[in-house]
Amino acid sequence: MFSKILIANRGEIACRVIRTARKMGVHTVAVYSDADAKSLHVEMADEAVHIGPSPVGESYLRGDRIVAAALSTGTQAIHPGYGFLSENPDFVDQVVAAGLTFIGPSSASIRAMGLKDAAKRLMEKAGVPVVPGYHGEAQEIVLLASKAREIGYPVLIKARAGGGGKGMRRVEHPDDFSEALSSARREAKAAFGDDRVLVEKYVDKPRHIEVQVFGDNFGNAVHLYERDCSAQRRHQKVIEEAPAPGMTPALRKAMTEAAVKAAKAIGYSGAGTIEFIVDASQGLKPDRFWFMEMNTRLQVEHPVTEMVTGTDLVEWQLRVASGEKLPKTQSEIALTGHALEARIYAEDAAKGFLPATGTLHHLKFPEAACEGATMRVETGVRAGDAISPYYDPMIAKLVVHAKDRQAALEALGAALSRTEIAGSTVNTGFLAALAADPDFCAGDVDTGLIGRHQAALTGVAPPTGEIVSAAALAASGAAALPPSNDPWSSLSGYAHFHGVARRTRLKFGEADILAKVSVRPDGRFQVALDAPYDSTNSHDFRAAPRLARWPGHITVFEGAVGYTFAVTDPLARSDDAAAASGSLRAPMPGLVKLVRVAKGDAVIKGQPLLILEAMKMEHTIAAPHDAVVAEIAAEGAQVTDGTVLVRFVEEQSAQTAAAGR
């Protein structure tokens, strides 16, 4: 076994690898960029080496610096985690050439499965069913459009490199093919450095079911059953589970056999995942699944497999890479219970899952799941850490395991309802709504479920009077928040408020709220609210609400939803410029990838104005109303959160300009 390894990654997965290495007595070396100098994975590792500036291209994608860090610290092996260089065969060659061990498959295996088109041709030869489509080398738009017509719409354009839903577009009609292809290529080029694509038939009711495989260097390969990852938004997984709901013995046998056959076809060693698309329109049948791709690394969702099989896949990785045989044979791997994983992201689900940034001023996870269930939280952040625009905005993975799917769903809902995050917009409310969705609970899930139910899943009820009152009381200064977050436990004796109502102003979204806080004769606080909450109604708190105070804000937690109120400073001057409707500002830091209009152009409501690339995804900035463009950001410009991207001509001037046309 290795005595010291370097982890060529950051965040949650780096922390995950460190925990297992520590359990095995293996020392760890972390690498970090400028943005991660004080991160959790750096704190947890035995040693840490700085490898460059914050952008990934200058740090975590610099294989030469990572190998140099490994050599300088005397490490024997490099664990790549997932993402970044984990599926880069050239990096594997660099590692091996330096006399180090790569904790993962060989570069030959990665090359064989790294490009989706080549991998599918290889799987066809190995007898693994492959989804119908065009997987050839030619990339001319005329040819690709022709192949799309042959396949039949709807079709799916997919980047042949990488994954994570990037460079992927569903196309319903031939007229939309050209624009979708251009967008997919741009995104693929930015994410993977390769803009080549393949075109496949879009399955009507697709289930995304994948099989965890594991091989060693002695020719052995096993499967650890399947995971269902059909709950997706923007082609990215949201809630994963094992086993797949509704899985039949016949389909499981066919899929796992095909997965092991695929692994053996390339002499695979280490952890890998064979991803299949399953047509669920007529139920789960053994002749209705097709190979999509192989991920030659540990998956983000590997904890659900660990929970239902009682294994530590990172430990298996270290043992196999150090020259040991697989820890278990196929007959020794049993499937027990049901596990679910929910990915908690800094994102605004109500705004199309727009990634968010911010400082995690308050971060609290439940200590345990409900009775009869176990829980683990996989995270790479602590309270006080910032969500950086340079990296994926995932905050944590909440994983639960119970005796069956219904019990696991209840445990997940309970855990999400007790999770508290303040300082950034997060998706916990959306996750809780999805976990309670009737179709999802019934196991009637496919990759289009979230899209069909998006309005219901992402809609958030406005705060009740009780929630607003809790925020007003905390903001009024009537009681300081002790570590217990319980200012209601001993409220008597505050004579400062006797007979006087203190006025507090809050802002929730665009709404200004006036509250009056006073003390009753019994020493308890009451809060009266102006309209629209009913100015005659008072709220008497006998149980402490869950809330967090952070600079200039109060967040009140109701179930899995956090309601954040800005505390209005009565001495602060209003920012008329920011309140004006004559401009559009960047919703997050990013790169102006493409500008579609020019100064002086008349635009209509909803018309795309520019494309902002942020957090490895493209976001279209559209006109909020009919207008004339006065100024627009330059293509290629790097912008920060709140930067003015577009200014419009004042209304009167715009009408004059429009009349002149």
pLDDT tens for 104-150 read: 999 999 999 987 778 888 898 888 998 888 988 899 999 999 999 99
What's the confidence (pLDDT) of residue 573? Answer: 38
CA 450 to chain centre: 15
Strand stretches in 184-220, DSSP E? 197-201, 206-215
155-188 CB burial, b ≥16 within 10 A, e <16: bbbbbbbbbbbbbbbbbeeeeebeebbebbbbbb
Percent share of the chain, pLDDT over 90: 67
Checking if the pLDDT of 447 tops 50, the result is: yes
CA 175 to CA 60: how far, in whole Å?
Answer: 40
CA 16 to CA 306: how far, in whole Å?
Answer: 13
User: Side-chain half-sphere of 227: how many Cα atoms within 13 Å?
Assistant: 31
- Catalytic residue set: 297
Percent share of the chain, pLDDT over 70: 90
pLDDT tens for 300-348 read: 999 999 999 999 999 999 999 999 999 999 999 999 999 999 999 999 9
Mean of pLDDT values over 591-598 = 92
Checking if the pLDDT of 484 tops 60, the result is: no
**Stronger pLDDT, 587 or 128, i.e. the higher one:** 128
CA 87 to CA 105: how far, in whole Å?
Answer: 9
CA 324 to CA 1: how far, in whole Å?
Answer: 9
Lowest mean pLDDT among 74-88, 107-121, 465-479: 465-479
What are the φ/ψ torsions at residue 190 (nearest 5 degrees)?
A: -70, -35
What's the confidence (pLDDT) of residue 483? Answer: 39
Specify which residues 529 forms β-bridges with: 515
CA 231 to chain centre: 12
- Stretch (H or E) spanning 458: helix 454-458
Mean of pLDDT values over 449-459 = 95
Confidence band (pLDDT; 50, 70, 90) for 276?
very high
pLDDT tens for 20-47 read: 999 999 999 999 999 999 999 999 999 9
What's the confidence (pLDDT) of residue 574? Answer: 38
- Identify whether the C-beta of residue 303 lies closer than 8 Å to the C-beta of residue 378: yes
Confidence band (pLDDT; 50, 70, 90) for 540?
low
**Stronger pLDDT, 575 or 648, i.e. the higher one:** 648
Show Cβ contacts of residue 574 under 8 Å, excluding neighbours closer than 6 positions.
none
What are the φ/ψ torsions at residue 175 (nearest 5 degrees)?
A: -65, -20
- Amino acid identity of residue 246, one-letter, is G
Q: Residue 8's CB: how many other CB atoms inside 10 A? A: 31
- Identify whether the C-beta of residue 292 lies closer than 8 Å to the C-beta of residue 275: yes
pLDDT tens for 608-652 read: 899 888 766 677 888 988 999 999 999 989 887 778 999 998 654
- pTM to 2 decimal places: 0.81
In what order do the strands lie in the sheet containing 197-201? Answer: 133-134, 197-201, 155-159, 168-171
- Identify whether the C-beta of residue 76 lies closer than 8 Å to the C-beta of residue 2: yes
CA 209 to CA 134: how far, in whole Å?
Answer: 22
- Amino acid identity of residue 597, one-letter, is V
**H helices present in 86-176, as ranges:** 89-97, 107-114, 116-126, 141-151
Q: What angle do CA 559, 564, 566 make, to 5 degrees?
A: 160
Checking if the pLDDT of 541 tops 70, the result is: no
Show Cβ contacts of residue 177 under 8 Å, excluding neighbours closer than 6 positions.
144, 145, 148, 155, 157, 171
What's the confidence (pLDDT) of residue 569? Answer: 60
pLDDT tens for 397-423 read: 999 999 999 999 999 999 999 999 999
Confidence band (pLDDT; 50, 70, 90) for 549?
very high
- Determine whether 76 is exposed, middle or buried from the number of CB atoms within 10 Å of its CB (0-12, 13-18, 19+): middle
Angle between the 302-309 and 313-321 helix axes, to the nearest 10 degrees?
A: 100
- Identify whether the C-beta of residue 261 lies closer than 8 Å to the C-beta of residue 129: no
Mean of pLDDT values over 580-598 = 82
Lowest mean pLDDT among 171-185, 213-227, 247-261, 586-600: 586-600
What's the confidence (pLDDT) of residue 256? Answer: 97
What's the confidence (pLDDT) of residue 277? Answer: 93
Checking if the pLDDT of 265 tops 60, the result is: yes
- Identify whether the C-beta of residue 514 lies closer than 8 Å to the C-beta of residue 567: no
Strand stretches in 216-357, DSSP E? 221-233, 236-242, 270-279, 289-295, 338-345, 347-348, 354-355
